[in-house]
Chain A
């Protein structure tokens, strides 16, 4: 018999991996219908994600924002909210980083990058905290409000980069002013991968400690598990919910800031490429466990990285990876039907 404490994470992990495998099989069948041999498909998926050094570097680079965006949904889920606002928080975080980066009269590269990242986290955090506050104060459904906030964030971005903060020297596409080049984050020595993924992993570990080993994390689980019990225990639910939403939004905002500080140097439509939605998927795969997010974010980063290779090799639209993600999502949700049935749970009579 397994230790009960290991069951707590082992079963959810097995369920998610199982769901992933089923989704990959379904995707294979889907592509086979269009004449693409499954084995070649899987080998392309592998080569495009983790098969070569370059693809590993691509996967890690893409995994960083996905991982942080996943935490947006995950942290809110711990207090019982279904937040879908990662995409919008990424955009706001990116804008925050640009605004601070452009305005700061600083010459220290390290301090400059750090302040840009903090500004991104602050912007993203406040953005999602707003949804948490609306939920508590007015009972506004957080899933719908955060999805709407995504569209509003994108509109704000488009408005700003089409005029107020537009860099008119860039004629190819609309983008904002650039942050000073010495604020740009370097790569990890020896790799063409920026520090984002390591920052992300560090955030996951810190979050694990917060959730597991602090009274605040305990309160979050009570609020998420049963609001009424939390009320009875006299916990300050509104603060707990708003702070949790802030933390989640801050993680996604950090993702947007990293994209600006480590990749683009400016804010543009490139911030709106679906990291937020892939993050939601990762949060569900990880079933609210921050450490599991690391693993699944790397996998999803890999799938995102292999999209280009699929497109080139089989001449399929880029949206193929979106189809695969949708399938994975459905399989993961369906697999919750099996929770509590994979590993024998010791029942006490």
Chain B
């Protein structure tokens, strides 16, 4: 984190910008996953667990096979499995989807720490960044613009999902399941199966966010790798009003907020290190307070969603 040192205060701004891109990837992937799940009318609050388990699986797979992309796949599969578990339990009658999410949060983190113990030491092959800084001679700028390939994947996915929600069969079914259970039943669609697919798919995408943590930035595996990013991403969905492309912008904003601490540290400001690192949480809470309302439904919220009352 020395890149900004030589560039002075401009460097801090640049570091926040570069940091925003770097840090935003897990936010982006988790929030896209959650958007799809919530569009179907269910909330999976367990994505923090998904993120951590995904990170562990990606790292371990990369260590064992030497292929980071196999690691990415493993992270997706781990996330999809937790999603499937969520969906199957929520398909039972009288089960609260939010509580199941909390249980999966604990289980996912527990499993990740349990199986991840032997992988804290070894080094894994990382994902190679895509260099956007080739035009500059400045090493700080060059390294700051080594962009995570999963960031581009997330961007493409956001655009694709946005288009799919309107223009494909699956998008229509997904929205119908989230907007009106009665209507879905009337045309003979099983809401439960749509929600199951949506939760599994959402889990897969969110799991990729974990791979981004352990295989690109910060690029290691330990028990403190994620502290609440998965959760913040869920709050971000509310702010983005369940819209994939807005999730992308919101993720950049969140990434920027999270990058403030490290950026300031890079120019030697260490006062209140812990407090500045808490900025994203406070920021998230602030956005949540701003986007919510006590008197009417959240704008854009799927009608069947228990989260939005």
Chains A, B in direct contact (C-beta < 8 Å) = yes
Residues on A with beta carbons closer than 8 Å to the beta carbon of B289: 134, 138, 140
Q: A178 an interface residue at 8 Å Cβ cutoff?
A: no
Q: Name which of A155, A158, A325, A329 has the most chain B CB atoms within 10 A of its CB.
A: A155
Which residues of chain B are near A134, meaning CB under 8 Å?
289
Q: Which residues of B contact A140 (CB under 8 A)?
A: 285, 288-289, 292
Chain B residues, Cβ within 8 Å of A155: 274-275, 277-278, 281
Is A333 touching B114 in the complex (CB atoms < 8 A)? no
Interface segment among A121-129, A142-150, A207-215: the answer is A142-150
Docked-complex contact B94 and A336, CB < 8 angstroms: yes
List A30-69 residues whose CB lies under 8 Å from chain B: none
Indicate if the CB atoms of A82 and B272 lie closer than 8 Å: no
| A2 vs B121: C-alpha distance when bound (angstroms) | 59
Q: In this assembly, does B129 line the interface, its C-beta being within 8 Å of a C-beta of chain A?
A: no
Q: Which single residue of chain A is at the shortest CB-CB distance from B117? A: A317
CB neighbors of B among A200-258 (8 A): none
Query: When the two chains form their complex, are residues A139 and B294 in contact, meaning their CB atoms are under 8 A apart?
Result: yes
* Contact in complex: B274, A323 (CB < 8 Å): no
Q: How many residues of B contact A (CB 8 A)?
A: 50
Query: CA separation between A318 and B275, bound complex, in Å?
Result: 30
**A138-B294, A326-B111 known; A148-B232 Cβ under 8 A:** yes
Contact A329 B106 (CB under 8 A): yes
List, in ascending order, chain A residues with CB within 8 A of B227's CB: 151
| Residue contact A330 to B111, C-beta cutoff 8 Å | no
Which residues from chain B contact A143 at a C-beta distance below 8 Å? Answer: 45, 98, 102
A139-B292, A152-B282, A329-B106 as given contacts; A337 in contact with B275, CB under 8 Å: no
Which single residue of chain A is at the shortest CB-CB distance from B89?
A334
Interface of A is mostly: helix
Q: Residue of B at shortest CB range from A152?
A: B281
- When distances are taken between beta carbons in the complex, the residues of chain A under 8 Å from B111 are 319, 323, 326
Chain B nearest CB, measured from A270 CB (Å) = 16
- What is the distance, in angstroms, from B195's C-beta to the closest C-beta of chain A? 16
- Distance between B33 CB and nearest chain A CB, rounded to angstroms: 16
Q: Does A172 contact B (CB under 8 A)?
A: no
Using known A-B contacts A155-B277, A320-B114, A334-B92, determine if residue A329 contacts B285 with beta carbons closer than 8 Å: no
Does A280 interact with chain B (Cβ within 8 Å)? yes
Q: Which residues of B contact A179 (CB under 8 A)?
A: none
List which B55-107 residues lie within 8 A (CB) of chain A: 85, 89, 92-96, 98-100, 102-104, 106-107
- For the complex, is A162 an interface residue (Cβ under 8 Å from B)? yes
A158 touches B294 (CB 8 A): no
**Does A84 count as interface, using CB distance less than 8 angstroms?**
yes
Report the separation of the CA atoms of residues A54 and B228 in the bound assembly, to the nearest whole angstrom. Answer: 36
Does B197 belong to the interface (CB within 8 Å)?
no
Contacts of B96 in A (CB 8 A): 82, 333, 336
In the complex the two chains form, is A329's CB within 8 Å of B102's CB? yes
Are B114 and A330 touching (Cβ within 8 A)?
no
Residue of A nearest to B223 (CB): A319
Query: Quick check: A329 and B281 within 8 Å, CB to CB?
Result: no
Which residues 277-332 of A have a CB within 8 angstroms of B? 277, 280-281, 284, 316-320, 322-327, 329-330
Instruction: Kindly identify, within residues 147 to 165 of chain A, every residue whose CB is under 8 Å from any CB belonging to chain B.
Output: 147-149, 151-152, 155-156, 158-159, 162
Expressed in whole angstroms, the Cα–Cα distance for A322 and B289 within the complex equals 32
Cα separation A48 to B288 with both chains bound (whole Å): 43
Contact at A330–B274, with CB atoms within 8 Å? no
Q: B264 on the interface (CB 8 Å rule)?
A: no
Complex interface bits, A84-124 against B, C-beta within 8 A gives 1, otherwise 0 = 10000000000000000000000000000000000000000
Q: For the complex, is B110 an interface residue (Cβ under 8 Å from A)? A: yes
A139 and B285 within 8 A (CB): no
Asked if A137 is at the interface (CB within 8 A of a chain B CB), the reply is: yes
A284 to B96, CA, bound (A): 11
As a 0/1 sequence over residues 282 to 300 of chain B, the CB contacts with chain A under 8 angstroms (1 = contact) are 1011001100111100100
CA distance A138 to B290 in the complex (A): 8
* B10 close to chain A: CB less than 8 A: no
Q: Which residues of B contact A147 (CB under 8 A)?
A: 228, 231
A136 on interface, CB distance cutoff 8 Å: yes
Q: B98 near A325 (CB under 8 angstroms)? A: no
The reply to whether A144 and B235 form a contact with Cβ atoms under 8 Å apart is yes
B89 x A330 contact (CB < 8 A): yes
When distances are taken between beta carbons in the complex, the residues of chain B under 8 Å from A137 are 294
B113 on interface, CB distance cutoff 8 Å: yes
Given contacts A139-B295, A152-B282, A334-B92, contact A329 B274 (CB under 8 A): no
CB pair A334–B95 under 8 Å, yes or no, is: yes
Task: Given A82-B99, A277-B106, A333-B89, check contact A136 B294 (CB 8 Å).
Answer: yes
Whether A159 contacts B274 by the Cβ 8 Å rule is yes
Rounded to whole angstroms, the CA-CA distance of A137 and B292 in the bound complex is 10
User: Which one of B110, B278, B293 lies within 8 Å of A319 (CB-CB)?
Assistant: B110
A152 contact set on B, CB distance < 8 A: 278, 281-282, 285
B109 within 8 A of A: yes
Within 8 A of B (CB), among A260-283: 277, 280-281
Please give, as numbers and ranges, the residues of chain B lying within 8 Å of A337 by CB-CB distance: 92-95
Q: Which of A84, A138, A325 makes the CB contact (< 8 A) with B110?
A: A325
Contact B274 A82 (CB under 8 A): no
Q: Which residues of A contact B278 (CB under 8 A)?
A: 151-152, 155-156, 159
Can you give 15 contacting A-B residue pairs, CB < 8 Å?
A82-B96, A139-B309, A141-B292, A141-B308, A148-B228, A148-B231, A148-B284, A151-B281, A152-B281, A152-B285, A155-B278, A159-B272, A330-B89, A336-B96, A337-B94
Binding site for B on A (CB under 8 A): 82, 84, 134, 136-141, 143-145, 147-149, 151-152, 155-156, 158-159, 162, 277, 280-281, 284, 316-320, 322-327, 329-330, 333-334, 336-337, 339
Extra pairs beyond A138-B293, A155-B274 (19, CB < 8 Å): A82-B96, A134-B289, A143-B45, A144-B45, A148-B231, A148-B235, A148-B285, A148-B288, A151-B278, A152-B281, A281-B103, A317-B114, A322-B109, A322-B114, A323-B107, A323-B114, A324-B110, A326-B107, A329-B102
